[in-house]
């Protein structure tokens, strides 16, 4: 962000109570793009809110309440910056293009990060799966993370136990890079930052959160984090899934959006929903992450996807507003 003075205003805007990302982002577009105005200027011109921005009385009341948090958010911004965190707003050229392409107007308004922000612009994959993954699934995760690392692809991890943690640790072990997508605020992740401090300092790990910096872990935030993991990745690999839960929901949502999702073909006797996901349209891959020959999608890919340096280009139609 060019001016630190804008940070408290972005924090205030991003966490408007009961406003979803789409509603916030549409207002941001009006302010920053249409009216070429800073958020600081916007918050100090209340008299223009109704007529110039066509805001309802209810919306104005919500913004007025949020405005009272500006002094607190100014202190919070100071604290964040002094601890080495950065705030990347959705209109920044540093914002993850893949995330914006996949979520479009529903992309998070700001990203809180710590580490090498250039990682956000690299090709990326996510390996997802059960917290109680078996040894076969963890081996698959390691194989895919190794290949990704060898081909300079960032491994996106949700930092849950099981597949997520294996993906992160494997990326580091194989000299690759990883993004940790938190189910909490960046300021409550002290133990994790301490554990991965050297990798962060070396530029190999980026810690990222879309939640208020002081938010503690919760099931609700963990579920809200999952779509961010999928959206940050250009390629998605599923090690192991049940017929419910975050992995299943993420894959079904991805298939609905016509994203190509690679699922490990299970061995005989395995009790998971991998085969069912393949039947629903996911692409079967073997234990090394290679597409199993014989499928139409495999012919279209023409190459081992995790090793390929080329990826399908995602339309950027809605990105012109930023």
pLDDT for 56-72, tens place per residue?
Answer: 999 999 999 999 999 99
Q: Which tokens go with 7? A: 């940070």
The pairing of strands 205-209 and 235-240 is unpaired
Among 150, 158, 184, smallest CA distance to 236 is for: 158
Statement: residue 320 has pLDDT above 80: no
Q: Which tokens go with 75? A: 């202190």
Rounded Cα distance between 6 and 111, Å, is 14
| Mean pLDDT value across residues 157-179 | 96
Rounded Cα distance between 189 and 80, Å, is 13
Q: What is the DSSP letter of 239?
A: E
Question: In which band, very low, low, confident or very high, does the pLDDT at 5 lie, cut at 50, 70 and 90?
Answer: confident
Q: What is the DSSP letter of 291?
A: B
Statement: residue 3 has pLDDT above 60: no
Q: What is the DSSP letter of 218?
A: -
Of the chain, the percentage scoring pLDDT greater than 90 comes to 87
How many CA atoms does the CB half-sphere of 149 hold within 13 Å? 22
- Helix ranges (DSSP H) in the chain: 7-14, 21-28, 39-43, 49-53, 57-67, 70-82, 97-103, 135-150, 163-173, 190-195, 197-201, 219-232, 246-256, 274-279, 296-301
Are residues 273 and 241 in contact, defined by beta-carbon separation less than 8 angstroms? yes
Question: In which band, very low, low, confident or very high, does the pLDDT at 4 lie, cut at 50, 70 and 90?
Answer: confident
Question: In which band, very low, low, confident or very high, does the pLDDT at 293 lie, cut at 50, 70 and 90?
Answer: confident
CATH-assigned architecture of domain 117-318? 3-Layer(aba) Sandwich (3.40)
Rounded Cα distance between 180 and 204, Å, is 11
Cα 72 versus chain centre, distance: 27
Are residues 263 and 239 in contact, defined by beta-carbon separation less than 8 angstroms? no
For residue 169, the model assigns a pLDDT of 97
């Amino acid at each position: 962000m060019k001016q630190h003075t804008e940070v408290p205003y972005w924090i205030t805007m991003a966490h408007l109570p009961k406003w979803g990302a789409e509603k916030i982002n549409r207002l941001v577009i009006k302010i920053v793009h249409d009216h070429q105005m800073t958020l600081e200027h916007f918050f100090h011109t209340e008299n223009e809110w109704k007529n110039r921005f066509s805001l309802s009385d209810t919306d104005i009341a919500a913004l007025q309440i949020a405005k009272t948090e500006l002094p607190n958010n100014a202190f919070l911004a100071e604290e964040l910056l002094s601890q080495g965190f950065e705030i990347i707003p959705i209109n920044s050229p540093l914002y993850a293009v893949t995330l914006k392409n996949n979520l479009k107007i529903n992309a998070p308004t700001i990203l809180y990060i710590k580490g090498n922000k250039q990682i956000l612009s690299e090709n990326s994959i996510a390996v997802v799966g059960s917290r109680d993954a078996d040894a076969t699934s963890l081996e698959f995760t390691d194989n895919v993370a190794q290949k990704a690392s060898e081909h300079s692809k960032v491994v996106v991890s949700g930092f849950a136990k099981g597949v997520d943690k294996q993906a992160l640790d494997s990326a580091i072990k194989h000299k690759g890079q990883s993004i940790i997508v938190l189910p909490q605020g960046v300021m409550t992740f002290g133990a994790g930052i301490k554990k991965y401090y050297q990798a962060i300092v070396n530029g190999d790990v980026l810690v990222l959160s879309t939640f208020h910096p002081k938010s503690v872990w919760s099931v609700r935030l963990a579920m809200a984090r999952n779509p961010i993991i999928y959206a940050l990745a250009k390629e998605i690999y599923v090690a192991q899934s049940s017929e419910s839960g975050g992995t299943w929901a993420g894959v079904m949502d991805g298939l609905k959006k016509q994203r190509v999702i690679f699922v490990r073909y299970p061995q005989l006797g395995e009790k998971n929903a991998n085969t069912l996901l393949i039947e629903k349209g996911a692409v079967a891959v073997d234990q090394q992450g290679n597409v199993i020959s014989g499928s139409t999608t495999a012919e279209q890919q023409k190459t081992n996807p995790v090793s390929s340096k080329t990826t399908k280009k995602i339309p950027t139609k809605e990105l012109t507003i930023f």
